[in-house]
């Protein structure tokens, strides 16, 4: 996951957990030298994938709380791939974005949380370069966001700054894709006529519903989104 320190996402109804498992078994070992008070330094073995060598393999799994069963998602993708974005669409479906190792191909999948099958929604390619990802902040206009924000604020008064930082991080757990509550739509930065622009998508269609922005300039950051007006 790019730009995050977590790989676990609860479903909206808290009945399932999606998470990423990484396997570093085939990754080569790099030795770090630790100097201390002893006469000779010690060597610390670390799994470290250098460019051109074997990467860790990652898979997306979903754990069902009721049945206590964990299963891997079948993306049916050949070769190495990266899982760069994950977010719950609703209680029964997960959105997951995969890229190849050099990030010249990006594919967005809709995952059925019960059957663990994945259907590709859309695909982007950049044969002459790579696809860059920009983290999208939570929807600051949504009612749910302000409920969580106020909850965090009260915990700050009770548990001080340490607990505030913990609960505020919970607000960002699904910020990779800007999902529109109560709909099958989402916002994404895409290449449009050679420039990065904001597009409104529907999970049932691989093409944008419409371009939110366009022109001979680029969007570098999405500060927020108005779901009622479909504007950013």
163 lies in a domain? no
Residue found under tokens 């269609």: 205
Per-residue pLDDT of the chain (232 residues; tens, 9 = 90+): 556 677 899 998 999 999 999 899 999 999 999 998 889 999 999 999 888 888 888 899 999 999 999 999 988 887 888 888 888 888 899 999 888 888 888 888 999 999 999 998 888 888 777 777 655 544 444 445 556 666 767 767 776 666 655 444 443 333 346 677 677 788 888 888 888 888 888 877 878 888 888 999 988 877 777 766 666 6
21 lies in a domain? yes
Parent domain of 128: 8-27+45-137+174-211
Residue found under tokens 């100097």: 35
230 lies in a domain? no
Tell me how many domains the chain contains. Answer: 1
CATH number at 206 reads 2.140.10.30
Burial class (CB in 10 A: 0-12, 13-18, 19+), 16: buried
219 lies in a domain? no
156 lies in a domain? no
Which residues face 43 on adjacent strands? Answer: 33
122 lies in a domain? yes
Instruction: Decide if 31 contacts 43 (C-beta within 8 A).
Output: yes
Phi and psi for 171 in degrees, rounded to 5? Answer: -70, -20
Structural tokens at position 24: 């570093």
**Whole-angstrom Cα distance, residue 94 to residue 63?**
13
User: ∠ CA 170-68-110 to the nearest 5 degrees?
Assistant: 60
Which residue, among 78, 172, 185, has the nearest Cα to 122 in the 3D structure?
Answer: 185
149 lies in a domain? no
User: pTM value?
Assistant: 0.62
pLDDT at 171: 38
């Amino acid at each position: 996951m790019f730009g995050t320190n977590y790989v676990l996402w609860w479903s909206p109804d808290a009945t399932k957990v999606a998470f990423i498992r990484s396997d570093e078994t085939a990754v080569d070992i790099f030795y770090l030298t630790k100097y201390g008070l002893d006469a000779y330094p010690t060597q610390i073995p670390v799994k470290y994938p250098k460019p051109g060598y074997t990467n860790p393999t990652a898979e997306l799994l979903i754990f069902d709380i009721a049945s206590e069963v964990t299963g891997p998602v079948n993306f049916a993708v050949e070769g190495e791939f990266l899982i760069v974005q994950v977010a719950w669409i609703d209680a029964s479906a997960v959105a997951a974005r995969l890229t190849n190792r050099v990030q010249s191909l990006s594919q967005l999948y809709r995952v059925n949380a019960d059957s663990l099958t994945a259907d590709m929604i859309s695909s982007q390619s950049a044969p002459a370069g790579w696809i860059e990802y920009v983290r999208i902040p939570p929807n600051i206009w949504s009612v749910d966001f302000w409920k969580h924000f106020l909850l965090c604020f009260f915990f700050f008064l009770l548990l001080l700054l340490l607990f505030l930082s913990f609960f505020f991080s919970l607000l960002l757990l699904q910020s990779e894709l800007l999902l529109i509550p109560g709909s099958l739509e989402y916002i994404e930065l895409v290449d449009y006529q050679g420039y990065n622009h904001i597009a409104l998508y529907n999970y049932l269609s691989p093409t944008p519903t419409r371009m939110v922005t366009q022109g001979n300039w680029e969007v570098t950051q999405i500060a927020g989104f108005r779901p009622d007006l479909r504007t950013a």
